[in-house]
Amino acid sequence: MHDPSHDAHIHLDFFDDPESFARDAESRCMSLFACSVLPEGFKRIATTCKDLKNVHAGLGIHPWWVADAHLHDFDDCFDRTRWIGEVGLDFSPRRPHHDLQMQVFEHVARRCSESGNKIMSIHSIRSASSVMRVLDQTGCLHNNICIFHWFSGSTDDLWLAIRAGCYFSINERQTQTKRAREQLKLIPVDRLLLETDLPPQHNPQTTIDDVIDSLETARASLEGIRSQALEDQLTKNWLKLLSSMS
């Protein structure tokens, strides 16, 4: 068994020394979709890790941080990367600014639709149907790769996303509920990716071994849920996604 080939959703912007962690990942032949929560986090990762081919710096405006975001900062960075994340909506009652979240996500989706050829990591807590509506109405689904990070919507919403060609990045915590396990049986095997969503916010103690352990736990859980070996398929899925960017 090899180390996992990728982490499709990790927050390098939360590390004190993201370059050191990324070099540890490079030594283990691991590729990283380094999502950010604000454009300044993207700029930090894009600068500190610019020489590392295994790091794909994602430009994000996370729904929890929309009140701190400026769309002109997002637009200023937009052409610097094909990786967009973390973006999306969170309509949990404890998360405020639902109208502002929608305004920001619609802007992001329109920009991606106008550009095309972006890979997006999308947050959709209690909002999957709204996320799908925005992606569809802006045309974003037709010329970009949309990855649902830690999908937790209804099964109807899951089928909409599957039919639209979306990918799904899966972490170890996501495999622990009965509904999620049933939904994970429905996703086409060629749309599955692994993620950690690590580290916990601003926890520089997270190591490459922590990330690998989390990815391997997620993979083992997925294999148990689906009763099939997935290591080669997951790597193939990631490489296919990367090849779409050439």
pLDDT averaged over 10-residue windows placed end to end, the chain, 246 residues: 91 94 98 98 97 98 97 98 98 95 98 98 98 98 97 97 98 94 97 96 85 97 96 97 81
Burial class (CB in 10 A: 0-12, 13-18, 19+), 30: buried
The C-alpha atoms of residue 221 and residue 245 are separated, in whole angstroms, by: 29
Parallel/antiparallel/unpaired status of strands 119-125 and 31-34: unpaired
**What pLDDT, on a 0 to 100 scale, did the predictor assign at position 242?**
93
DSSP bridge pairs for 55:
32
Residue entry with tokens 């922590």: 210
**What pLDDT, on a 0 to 100 scale, did the predictor assign at position 1?**
65
Phi, psi of 23 (to 5 degrees): -70, -35
**What pLDDT, on a 0 to 100 scale, did the predictor assign at position 3?**
87
Count of beta carbons in the 10 Å neighbourhood of residue 160: 19
- Give just the sign of the alpha carbon dihedral 68, 146, 35, 90: positive
Phi, psi of 52 (to 5 degrees): -105, 115
DSSP state of 57: E
The C-alpha atoms of residue 139 and residue 130 are separated, in whole angstroms, by: 14
Q: How far is CA 19 from CA 13, 45, 153, 172, in A?
A: 10, 8, 34, 25
E-strand ranges in the chain read 6-10, 31-34, 55-57, 83-90, 119-125, 145-149, 167-170, 192-194
Out of 3.40.50.2000, 3.40.50.970, 3.20.20.140, 3.40.30.10, the CATH code matching 6-243 is 3.20.20.140
What length is written for the chain? Answer: 246
Give the type of residue at 185. Answer: K
117: left (phi over 0), alpha (psi -120 to 50) or beta: left
